[in-house]
Amino acid sequence: MKNKLLLVILMVACALPAFAADEEKLDDRINASADVIKDILGMPDGIPKDLLNKADCVIIFPSVKKAAFGVGASYGRGLITCRKGSTFTGPWSAPAMFALEAGSVGFQIGVQATDFVLLVMNESGARSVMTSKVKLGADAAIAAGPVGRDAAAATDIVLNAQILSWSRSKGAFAGVSLEGSTLRSDDGANKTLYGRDISAKEIVRLGKVPPPASAERLLGILRRASPRHIVK
């Protein structure tokens, strides 16, 4: 009995460093996402503020590299945060970890690391991304987002899109269509971050968990940039 107890203690002790390392990686992902959104929102020709004010959710994928995209087998890792409440009028939620998968072999983003920011513009888009896996362009309408503080946002493309997307690479910022790619919840990462099995919907829509300490800077940036949701 004593030997069994000792074995259990040793197994737990060995697992703790790996668990701590996984948590540290997730904190790094959250911090990198905060850096991306801070930089992009600070650009003179960044995401138009009126679009951010109208958005229900923000999805950020920092430092995605071409090497991460094979035939859809590998993926970029990021996060999503939504305005809480059934009508998306509450404060920004705790982040849920998300994954972006390549849509096809022909989808190329270059050797340099590329940041992606997506705005989910309506409830139907938010419902779509909360499913187990959503194919952009098929399950949810996506369009390249306009750039510039004064960019005309009321175009047919923007009005009809459920999701708008942008990329930043080598300092260049532009709207980019991710049609053909897929989004899904990174369930393993969410379990590590929050200590239990929990869905992305429970985190960002139902607000069932408080945000981790590492997310405070990210949420603070979004609160300052867009404290109030402008309902379309």
Number of domains in the chain: 1
The answer to whether 162 touches 142, Cβ cutoff 8 Å, is yes
Which residue would you say has higher pLDDT here, 223 or 4? 223
Residue-wise pLDDT tens digits, 122-142 = 999 998 898 878 888 888 889
Which residue would you say has higher pLDDT here, 154 or 219? 219
**In-domain check, residue 155:** yes
CA distances from 168 to 62, 113, 137, 165 (A): 9, 9, 21, 11
Residue-wise pLDDT tens digits, 161-192 = 899 999 988 778 888 888 888 899 999 999 99
**In-domain check, residue 162:** yes
**Which tokens hold the place of 212?**
């981790």
Given a cut of 90, is residue 112 above it in pLDDT?
Answer: no
Residue-wise pLDDT tens digits, 1-60 = 545 544 434 344 444 444 445 778 999 999 999 999 999 999 888 898 889 999 999 999
**In-domain check, residue 193:** yes
CA angle centred on 223, ends 221 and 226, rounded to 5°: 105
Which pLDDT score, from 0 to 100, does residue 177 have? Answer: 82
Give, as one character, the DSSP assignment of residue 46: S
Residues 6+ apart with CB under 8 A from 79: 29, 30, 33, 59, 60, 95, 96, 97, 98
Between the CA atoms of 130, 133, 136 and 137, what dihedral angle is there, to the nearest 10 degrees? -100
Range of the domain at 203: 20-225
Residue-wise pLDDT tens digits, 89-103 = 889 999 999 999 865
Give, as one character, the DSSP assignment of residue 135: E
Look-up of token digits 């929990």 = 198
| Dist. CA 8–CA 112, nearest whole Å | 45
The answer to whether 60 touches 120, Cβ cutoff 8 Å, is no
The answer to whether 92 touches 81, Cβ cutoff 8 Å, is yes
Which pLDDT score, from 0 to 100, does residue 10 have? Answer: 39
**In-domain check, residue 4:** no
The answer to whether 203 touches 194, Cβ cutoff 8 Å, is yes
**In-domain check, residue 13:** no
**In-domain check, residue 6:** no
Map residue 53 onto helix, strand or coil. helix
Phi, psi (degrees; rounded to nearest 5) at 214: -65, -15
**In-domain check, residue 210:** yes
The answer to whether 182 touches 129, Cβ cutoff 8 Å, is no
**Which tokens hold the place of 136?**
């952009």
Q: Percent of the chain, pLDDT > 90?
A: 44
CA angle centred on 89, ends 83 and 92, rounded to 5°: 25
Which pTM value belongs to this model? 0.84
Strands 163-169 and 142-144: parallel
